Amino acid sequence: MADNVCPHCGYVNLKRAVFCFECGTALEQNKPIKGMKPRHQTDLDDTIEIDVKDTDPQLGIPPSIQELADAKATKELAAQYHDFLKCLRCGIDNLPTADVCQRCGAALMVPDENYGLRLLVSARSSVGQVRSNNEDNVGIWARSGVILALVADGMGGAAAGEEASRLAKEAVQADFTGALRGSEILQELTEEEVQQKLRDALHHANEAVLDKISQDKSYQGMGTTATMAFVRGNRIIVAHIGDSRAYLIDGEHGWVHQITDDHSFVEVLVASGHITREQASIHPMRSVLYRALGQVDAVEADLYTQYLKAGDCLVLCSDGLTRHLEGDEIGEIVKRVGDPEAISQELIDLANVRGGEDNISVVVVKAVSDESTVPLEKLVVINIEDERPPKSADNLFQTAQFGSFDLDQILGDEDPSET
């Protein structure tokens, strides 16, 4: 198969990618539908058709938030966010607070009808106080109330570590975004199917890192951790390789549960009673992993499942956070602060105050109870001309010359809100 080159920006995408990782353009060679097909919504495919008459004539698509962020008026707003919520349907960036994808109209944050839960997310990454580059990558994606989150901590020095964690993010996005990759049916998959999908994504991420190393020897020795969480309804499924961590903080009692086990040598020494937890924290080999992406062909992810109830909070983080903060302290901040955006900021600030020895990355997914659950079909389509922009993104949509586009055309004739 030829390289998966973006016709718009020229970026060479991973072969499985349905949308360009850089600019979000639908990739030509993926047009024939193969592989995973929607179970019900057979009218949808991955090609998001946009009425080009009101959009950027050069792009042919509405600008992404990154492009909007270049505009002076939106710079400040965009600067508040380190990472955007990526639409699992079309791969474009949205503000973490958006309900609906700004490009394709897919519902992002829909409260689950059965559990009355609404998910709020935030992702941030800081270079820290010592390092000159950030080898971590964070990702958050959403569709129909399903949240996918990733923290990847690259290793192998400077550019290599950065590339490894970025490739993990790109591979995860290629595996989950678009109908070809099953984004239409994430709500319906069994837990076993979700687990397999997470395993596959990490397997493909591993391949992507190894491929890059084989193509370019300067990347020799690079690798990355990957801690992923798939959140749907009241369930969390975590897939994990390396020493980034997932914590679950109980909103009612404040219990802090470390979901993942570190795949580090010191963790083995602690588990076997050779050293204490305190000795481990200053051990010279504390960052050495026995399992990571980019090391061997067959890499096995640990899978965990947990329940989520209103008030509970899931925190994914790189070791740059846990080097400086104990689990109990993370739990204390989560409980006291409440809002995910503020939680992620305070966690990172505290790690930086305590020395910021490594890159610090945090993803926070909080479940809050939402009695005013809006039915999915009411949110699937918004009409931007209808003065119903996604809430909390009001400023952005007012200041950006966004243009309008025909959502009926994008979503086909079977739009339930039109009947």
Q: Does 106 bind Zn ion (CB under 5 A)?
A: yes
Q: Is 100 helix (H, G, I), strand (E, B) or coil?
A: strand
Instruction: List CB contacts of 274: < 8 A, sequence separation 6 or more.
Output: none
Six-digit token string for 105: 């109209």
Per the DSSP assignment, residues forming a β-bridge with 86 are 93, 141
Q: Does 379 bind Zn ion (CB under 5 A)?
A: no
- Number of other CB atoms surrounding residue 90 within 10 Å: 28
Is the CB of 11 or the CB of 397 nearer to Zn ion? 11
Considering only 17, 20, 100, 334, the residue that binds Zn ion (CB under 5 A) is 20
Binding mask 22-41 for Zn ion (x = CB under 5 A): xx-x----------------
Residue 19: closest CA among 27, 31, 11: 27
Task: Round to whole Å and give the CA distance between 318 and 72.
Answer: 32
Place of tokens 């569709």: 143
Is the CB of 26 or the CB of 364 nearer to Zn ion? 26
Q: Does 44 bind Zn ion (CB under 5 A)?
A: no
> Which one of 97-105, 185-193, 274-282, 328-336 is the stretch in contact with Zn ion (CB under 5 A)?
97-105
Q: Does 304 bind Zn ion (CB under 5 A)?
A: no
Q: Does 5 bind Zn ion (CB under 5 A)?
A: no
Considering only 27, 50, 68, 87, the residue that binds Zn ion (CB under 5 A) is 87
Task: Round to whole Å and give the CA distance between 320 and 257.
Answer: 19
Task: Round to whole Å and give the CA distance between 222 and 209.
Answer: 8
> Which one of 85-93, 263-271, 304-312, 403-411 is the stretch in contact with Zn ion (CB under 5 A)?
85-93
Pairing of strands 226-232, 235-241: antiparallel
Q: Does 292 bind Zn ion (CB under 5 A)?
A: no
Contacts 24+ apart (CB under 8 A), 381-386: 381/105, 381/407, 381/411, 381/415, 381/417, 381/418, 382/100, 382/105, 382/407, 383/407
Shortest Å, Cβ 169 to Zn ion: 16
Task: Round to whole Å and give the CA distance between 118 and 340.
Answer: 13
Considering only 26, 27, 44, 104, the residue that binds Zn ion (CB under 5 A) is 104
Shortest Å, Cβ 5 to Zn ion: 9
Q: Does 8 bind Zn ion (CB under 5 A)?
A: yes
> Which one of 14-22, 126-134, 298-306, 353-361 is the stretch in contact with Zn ion (CB under 5 A)?
14-22
> Which one of 95-103, 263-271, 327-335, 410-418 is the stretch in contact with Zn ion (CB under 5 A)?
95-103
Is the CB of 186 or the CB of 256 nearer to Zn ion? 186
Cβ density class 216-255: b for 16+ within 10 Å, e for less: eeebeebbbbbbbbbbbbbebbbbbbbbbbbbbbbbeeee
User: From residue 316, how far is each of 83, 132, 230, 299 by CA, in Å?
Assistant: 14, 23, 12, 21
Q: Does 142 bind Zn ion (CB under 5 A)?
A: no
Six-digit token string for 266: 């010191």
Is the CB of 144 or the CB of 244 nearer to Zn ion? 144
Task: Round to whole Å and give the CA distance between 92 and 46.
Answer: 13
Place of tokens 């791969």: 91
Q: Does 6 bind Zn ion (CB under 5 A)?
A: yes
Q: Does 321 bind Zn ion (CB under 5 A)?
A: no
Residue 311: closest CA among 348, 257, 365, 260: 365
Is the CB of 36 or the CB of 303 nearer to Zn ion? 36
Shortest Å, Cβ 86 to Zn ion: 8
Shortest Å, Cβ 132 to Zn ion: 28
Considering only 27, 61, 95, 101, the residue that binds Zn ion (CB under 5 A) is 101
H/E segment holding residue 360: strand 360-369
Task: Round to whole Å and give the CA distance between 15 and 252.
Answer: 45
Is the CB of 23 or the CB of 120 nearer to Zn ion? 23
Q: Does 89 bind Zn ion (CB under 5 A)?
A: yes
Q: Does 198 bind Zn ion (CB under 5 A)?
A: no
Considering only 65, 90, 123, 400, the residue that binds Zn ion (CB under 5 A) is 90
Binding residues (CB under 5 A) for Zn ion: these are 6, 8-9, 11, 20, 22-23, 25, 87, 89-90, 101, 103-104, 106
